[in-house]
Homo-oligomer: A and B are copies of this chain.
Amino acid sequence: MELSAFLTSVGINSAIAVLLFLLYSVLRKQPGNLNVYFGPRLALASERQNYPPSLLRYLPSPSWVVKAWETTEDDILALGGMDALVFVRIIVFSIRIFCIAAVICMFLVLPVNYYGKEMIHHDISSETLEIFTIANVKESSEWLWTHCFALYVITCSACGLLYFEHKSISRTRLAYITGSPPNPSHFTVLVRAVPWSAEQSYSESVKEFFMKYYASSYLSHHMVHRSSRVQRLMNDAERICRVFKSVSAEQKSKPCLLPCFCGAPNSFDILSNEPDNVRGNIGLDVSNLATEKENAVAFVCFKTRYAAVVAAEILHSENPMLWVTEMAPEPNDVLWSNLSIPYRQLWIRKIAVLVASIAFMFVFLIPVTFVQSLTQLEQLSHAFPFLKGMFKKKFISQVVTGYLPSVILILFLYAAPPTMMVFSTIEGSVAHSGRKKSACIKVLYFTIWNVFFVNVLSGSVIGQLTKLSSVKDVPKHLAEAIPNQVGFFMTYVLTSGWASLSVEIMQPFFLLRNILKKFICRIKNNPPNGTLSFPYQTEVPRLLLFGFLGFICSVMAPLILPFLLIYFVLAYLVYKNQIINVYKKSYESGGQYWPIAHKTIIASLVLTQIIALGIFGIKKSPVASGFTIPLIVGTLLFNEYCRQRFFPSFQKIAAQVPWKFLPFYFCMLVCVCVPSLMGYFFTGSYANGSTR
């Protein structure tokens, strides 16, 4: 790809991004859009009145940028929870490391690349992008130490930054957990696979078991009920009733349209908010119907957090597939529909989902192959001769090679997260946060595989997949392929990165829905969109993918770094704005995204080093190769150290801190609010039974 084609892409993207950001700064000031851009805050306070006078409303202003910039981490933690904080820390980490990388690579590596071969340089705009990559350095050049040195600087800074981030996040996480107000989930254990007995009901079994082994700390338990057919019909009736109500704009408090279309709503909310007349009208006592069908699942409440943690971690039965315990998710976080999945199915579901995900990844190769063919115009015009004339026009050719491939890829990539969410639901996670985390991991693998590996390893994808089978040659293949693909990655950062930020901040879907509702359905007093929770399963993989591309390209093609830095700075502002204004924290995983980020960053570093090793091999620089190997070993050792030192505290809660005051504190709590807390769970499990 020529520099001019690339600059076309930069121009188009910058223009679109600036336009959309300006548009956003206007749209957000319109009173009609408050429920799109300030959903959760609307639900809290009546900011509806504070919009500026009419003229100023239509002028773009940078106020949101200033506000996002000024938001502190404490605000983020308070508003978005630990997950949001981790998300912001990932961005901050990326900005820091790519600042360092940009400085060292732009001033040291880029000149070496550009003047790497003795040649006459033309006008800079007609140079191909490859001139700026390591491919332009001549064989056994004496200047390859600069690349090796840059690799050392980047790796060491990354490891150092990671270490301090780890330390600070662990500390914050612990403080957050200990400082957070007592939550019923802290005292509750989810028991699955209660063994069936002919003599007694599940409920009696649970009671007997916990009375026996946890006599001093057992408080109470609540079974989860399966909905009978009648109840399912009733739920449907209720849902339809809600739709009618919302359409006739009688209902005041909660949104309804989305749940109707998207399947299972947060039905706990529904029942508890619903007046009893629905049930009354039908004239059936649902509670009796429901209690008849107990699931082998129960929430068991303990008197102390410590007892709950102990009960969650101990193996209870000789048969490890009975009496399986884990800490209960927060009430908001429970994925009721998955509670009725028999525990013994879980392992086979996980395997099935793994296989399905891998199959999906390979089916996805078809659009990627098409995208790939677009960047190689000669091949395409060879295959379709009638296009030849069109490609001769310079502008069209530039748009096609510089812009279209990424757009097509992005459009196809939008299909992945929902699919992965479905997979994660099937997998059987009992918590929304767990499902999101699982989907996040799947999407991460998926995007890195599709955006990076498939693009790098292939012109004619499937035919060249055989290359992968020869393990030893992978670094060499990668080293050969990456400099050729730098143009694609750079445009990908521009199109997917910058554009996705614009889309994120504009929220076109909800904006459109809002407009539709207002002007076509004529619904006034549109309730705020308060149930929207942060889409970690798409955004975390995106951030990590750009970090991955950044590391891989840093030494080989440093021209990508400034664009990446712009992306991360924009992301910092946009996501902070979204966290404080748009998304509501309804559940969270407690910072579980950080270990994912850590692993991805380490994997990126190691892959970068392996590819560098391949390149140094191709360029015949044994010294640089020799120095790279200890770097790989060092990075892996650092990873192992972090795994030992930091990871356990993300999986378990340490006994040392939280129990200091809580059992004691809890005595008070039990007296005052346990009935209501228990009721919380009880109503939830009861109302749902609901396993559609």
A residues neighboring B (CB under 8 Å): 170-171, 174, 213, 309-310, 313-321, 323, 347-348, 351, 466, 469-473, 637, 640-641, 644-649, 652-657, 659
Contacts and interface: CB of A to CB of B under 8 A. Distances in A.
Given A469-B470, A659-B213, A644 B315 contact: no
A649 to B, nearest CB: 6
Contact of A351 (B640, B645, B646): B640
B315 A648 contact: yes
A348 to B, nearest CB: 7
B315 A649 contact: yes
Contacts of A640: 347-348, 351
Nearest to A323: B656
A313 B648 CA distance: 12
A378 to B, nearest CB: 31
14 contacts: A171-B318, A310-B310, A310-B314, A313-B313, A314-B655, A315-B648, A315-B655, A316-B656, A318-B654, A320-B646, A320-B649, A321-B644, A323-B656, A347-B641
- State the copy count for this chain: 2
Contacts of A652: 314-315
A325 to B, nearest CB: 10
Contacts of A317: 654-656
A609 B656 CA distance: 50
A347 B641 CA distance: 8
A475 to B, nearest CB: 12
Contacts of A319: 645, 649
A323 B320 CA distance: 28
A218 to B, nearest CB: 13
B174 A653 contact: no
Given A315-B649, A347-B641, 17 more contacts: A174-B318, A213-B655, A313-B313, A314-B655, A315-B648, A315-B653, A316-B655, A316-B656, A317-B654, A317-B655, A318-B657, A320-B644, A321-B645, A347-B640, A348-B637, A466-B472, A469-B472
Contacts of A637: 348, 351
Contacts of A314: 309-310, 313, 652, 655
Contacts of A647: 320
Is chain A's binding surface mostly helix, strand, loop or mixed?
helix
A641 to B, nearest CB: 7
Nearest to A174: B318
A316 B348 CA distance: 34
Contacts of A315: 648-649, 652-655
Contacts of A646: 320
Contacts of A641: 347
A320 B652 CA distance: 10
A630 to B, nearest CB: 13
B656 A320 contact: no
A649 B347 CA distance: 17
> Chain B CB within 10 Å — which of A310, A321, A657 has the most?
A310
A177 to B, nearest CB: 11
A640 B471 CA distance: 27
Contacts of A313: 313-314
Contacts of A310: 310, 314
A354 to B, nearest CB: 11
A213 B472 CA distance: 53
Contacts of A174: 318
- Nearest 5 Cβ contacts at the A-B interface: A320-B648, A469-B472, A315-B652, A347-B644, A317-B656
Contacts of A644: 320-321, 347
Nearest to A320: B648
Nearest to A318: B654
A601 to B, nearest CB: 20
A590 B369 CA distance: 55
Nearest to A317: B656
Determine which residue in A313, A319, A645 has the highest number of CB atoms from chain B within 10 A of its CB, and name it. A319
A656 B213 contact: yes
Nearest to A656: B317
Contacts of A170: 318
Highest count of chain B CB atoms <10 Å: which of A471, A641, A654: A654
A293 B657 CA distance: 29
Contacts of A469: 470-473
A272 B321 CA distance: 46
Nearest to A314: B655
